[in-house]
């Protein structure tokens, strides 16, 4: 039996980084008995307006101090201290790039996701910048180059469709996780033990051990 989940996530969300780390642990523990279908959620669906540039870096640095809260939890990602790099413009560029990576299979997508989260939160780089996305693509070992896929309108359409779906099933924030085929969603980065109990409960139900 395989238990399949849908995960709504944004690469600019620190709690999504923690969820990624924890769900990778679940994947390592259960192997092919679990599957996670990662879908897009856009915390910043549109780029910053030109008028927003003044003082943006200072405000963003102040915001990144809040990353210490998810960093303090068990089974968390590694969070750095933001320097002089520009803040990311919006959520869409890394989401489109991840959608392109997914075309090459689950292993390629996971490698690229790990690159995105590490570059943003650990190395404090702007993952909305084309050069950073291209570097992440190459570091993840993906074939060809990302720039050749960036103009594919189908990628952006798929990302926005994911976001609309997330809102329709009640994702008021991210990360949001639900069983595939079940619209009931759990929002927030849960401890590994909670995800594990969720998986085990599905196995038990399949075996007729729970009502």
Q: How many whole angstroms separate alpha carbon 205 and alpha carbon 106?
A: 27
CA distances (Å), 148 to each of 61, 90, 100, 134, 143, in order?
33, 21, 10, 10, 11
pLDDT score of 171: 94
* Greatest alpha-carbon span in the chain: 60
What band does 55 get if pLDDT is binned at 50, 70 and 90?
confident
Query: How far, CA to CA in Å, does 19 sit from each of 43, 98, 189?
Result: 16, 17, 5
pLDDT tens readout for residues 76-124:
999 999 999 999 999 999 999 999 999 999 999 999 999 999 999 999 9
Peptide linkage before 168 cis (omega within 30 of 0): no
Q: What is the pLDDT at residue 1?
A: 86
pTM of the predicted protein model = 0.95
CATH of domain 3-206: 3.40.30.10
The pLDDT of residue 136: 98
The side-by-side arrangement of strands in the sheet containing 186-187 is 34-40, 3-9, 176-179, 186-187
Choose between 17 and 48: higher pLDDT: 17
Which residues does 37 contact at the CB level (< 8 Å), separation at least 6?
4, 5, 6, 7, 180
Specify whether the CB–CB gap between 162 and 175 falls below 8 A.
no
* Measured distance CA(80)–CA(25) in Å, rounded: 22
Please give the full DSSP string across 106-133, using - where no structure is assigned. HHHHHHHHHHHHIIIIIS---TTSHHHH
């Amino acid at each position: 039996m395989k238990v399949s989940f849908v995960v709504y996530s944004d690469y600019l969300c620190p709690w999504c980084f923690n969820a990624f780390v924890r769900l990778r642990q679940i994947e390592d523990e259960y192997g092919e008995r679990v599957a996670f279908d990662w879908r897009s959620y856009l915390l910043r669906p549109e780029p910053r307006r030109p008028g927003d540039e003044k003082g943006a870096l200072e405000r963003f640095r102040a915001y990144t101090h809040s990353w210490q809260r998810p960093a303090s939890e068990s089974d968390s990602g590694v969070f750095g201290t933001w320097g002089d790099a520009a803040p990311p413009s919006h959520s869409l560029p890394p989401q489109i790039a991840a959608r392109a990576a997914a075309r090459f299979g689950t292993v390629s997508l996971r490698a690229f996701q790990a690159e995105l989260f590490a570059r943003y939160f650990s190395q404090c780089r702007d993952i909305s910048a084309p050069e950073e996305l291209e570097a992440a693509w190459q570091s993840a070992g993906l074939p060809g180059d990302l720039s050749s896929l960036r103009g594919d309108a189908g990628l952006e359409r798929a990302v926005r469709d994911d976001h609309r779906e997330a809102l329709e099933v009640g994702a008021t924030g991210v990360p949001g996780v639900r069983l595939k085929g079940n619209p009931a969603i759990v929002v927030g980065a849960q401890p590994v033990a909670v995800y594990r109990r969720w998986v085990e409960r599905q196995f038990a139900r399949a075996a007729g051990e729970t009502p």
